[in-house]
Amino acid sequence: MLTDLDDTLLHQAPLPFAFVGTSDHRFYDRYWFEAVAPDGSAGALVSMGRYPNMNVLDGFVTAQTEGKQYNVRFSRELRPSFAETKIGGLSVSLVEPLKVLRLRLEEGDHPLSCDLTWTGSLPARLEDHSFSRAEGRVVSDMYRFAQVGTVGGSLSIDGRDFAAANWFGARDHSWGVRPGVGGFEPVTSGAASGAGGRLFIWLAFRADEFGGYVQLHEDHLGRRQSLDGALVWPAEAGRPELRIVDMEHDLTFHEGTRAFSHARLVLTTEDEQRWEVEAEPLFTAWAYKGTGYGTGYDDEKGLGAYRGEYLEETDVYDVSHPEIVRNLDGDQIPSGHREQPVRLSVNGKPGFGHLPIMVMGPNQRYGLQAQ
């Protein structure tokens, strides 16, 4: 099967672009975007992912306002329209690589529509290669780049229209192999994965004329497993990135929850400068089950599962509580993992960021017990 990409000089394996160089069903290639109003009145997530070994292209638009999260999920057969980034009324168009993308959702039998232009204001940064193996099986083998920018255009949420002008934008683009794809995960050991607990912090931000990207993994005793990140400046500034070599954290949680109300991070760069980040939620953290991650979709199989020629789903969550998520009947439902847009300052300079903080299992530093 040939696609337009096969008439370029970009091949990296003896295969046409319709196939990938692994038979692992979890292989994926995914866009993710966030757009947030500076006053916290509204925000949106848009994403689209390709799963060539599952013959699936899926995506979602999720929006939040006034304590409610509106979710629209899509899935279609990938082939024969292999290279087309469109599912029903949802489309992602690459206008200028590593700079400008257009995100559209047409009006339909769902509560959301949008026409947003996402524009990078800082250079994208490629994260370190993520690779892990457990009992002989590759668990993760992927790359991801992150970028912050601005968003303009229009967003409609359940009949309420928002004009986006210079909204904060974050995005990432990742590809490779990772867990939780296609509705099933191979098991190669009887041991529980991550039984000891772990802490994960990921931050993409802009504050005044600069910004940065950083991620930290620690175990339940606070022992660092990995740290990767850098501060960056606009290309026209002509400044090289500053690698982040250390991170300290001091987190305050809403009482009785694992949802943070304040985060203080101290970043140390390779030139021994310290950068103090103070961050607070801009609105309630996104509940990612609504996007399709984890046990998302009505069949609870998550991202990348084959769902036939075409599928569209929609639902609405009450996310007015910092941790508990309910449907509109008032029943508590699983939230999936949570990711938090924030208002922040860095050494006193104001800005915005995307700051997921996940504390899983016990954590000695913060006095949290096993869940």
Model confidence at 135, in pLDDT bands (50, 70, 90)? Answer: confident
CB 306 within 8 A of CB 345: no
Q: What angle do CA 228, 146, 181 make, to 5 degrees?
A: 95
- Residue environment code for 330-354, b if the CB has 16+ CB neighbours within 10 A, otherwise e: eeebebbbbbbbbbbbbeeeebbbb
Sign of the CA dihedral with 257 first, then 258, 259, and 262 last: positive
On the 0-12 / 13-18 / 19+ scale of CB atoms within 10 A, 210 is buried
Model confidence at 195, in pLDDT bands (50, 70, 90)? Answer: low
Nearest to 57 by CA among 32, 33, 29, 77: 77
Per-residue model confidence (pLDDT) at position 75? 99
Per-residue model confidence (pLDDT) at position 108? 96
Instruction: Report how far apart, in Å, the C-alpha atoms of 310 and of each of 74, 85, 313 are.
Output: 8, 14, 10
Catalogue the long-range contacts made by 268-276 (C-beta closer than 8 Å, 24 or more residues apart).
Answer: 268/244, 269/230, 269/231, 269/242, 269/243, 269/244, 269/245, 270/242, 270/243, 270/244, 270/245, 271/242, 273/242, 275/212, 275/231, 275/346, 275/347, 276/346, 276/347
CB 341 within 8 A of CB 167: no
CB 58 within 8 A of CB 49: yes
CA distance 44 to 58: 17
Q: Give residue-wise pLDDT tens across range 24-40.
A: 999 999 999 999 999 99
Q: Give residue-wise pLDDT tens across range 200-232.
A: 999 999 999 999 999 999 999 999 999 999 999
On the 0-12 / 13-18 / 19+ scale of CB atoms within 10 A, 40 is middle
Count CB neighbours of 14 within 10 A.
6
- The size of the chain, in residues, is 371
Helix (H, G, I), strand (E, B) or coil at 6: helix
Model confidence at 370, in pLDDT bands (50, 70, 90)? Answer: confident
CA distance 272 to 257: 35
Q: Give residue-wise pLDDT tens across range 300-318.
A: 999 999 999 999 999 999 9
Nearest to 113 by CA among 66, 160, 58: 160
Sign of the CA dihedral with 359 first, then 363, 369, and 371 last: positive
- Residue environment code for 220-259, b if the CB has 16+ CB neighbours within 10 A, otherwise e: beeeeeebbbbbbbeeeeeeebbebeebebebebeeeebb
Nearest to 358 by CA among 228, 217, 195, 175: 217
Helix (H, G, I), strand (E, B) or coil at 184: coil
CB 27 within 8 A of CB 177: yes
Q: Is 153 left (phi over 0), alpha (psi -120 to 50) or beta?
A: left
Q: Map out the domains of the chain with their CATH numbers.
A: 26-185+195-360 (2.40.370.10)
Residue-averaged pLDDT of the chain: 96
Confidence check: pLDDT of 192 > 60: no
Task: Collect all residues with Cβ–Cβ distance below 8 Å to 190 and sequence separation of at least 6.
Answer: none
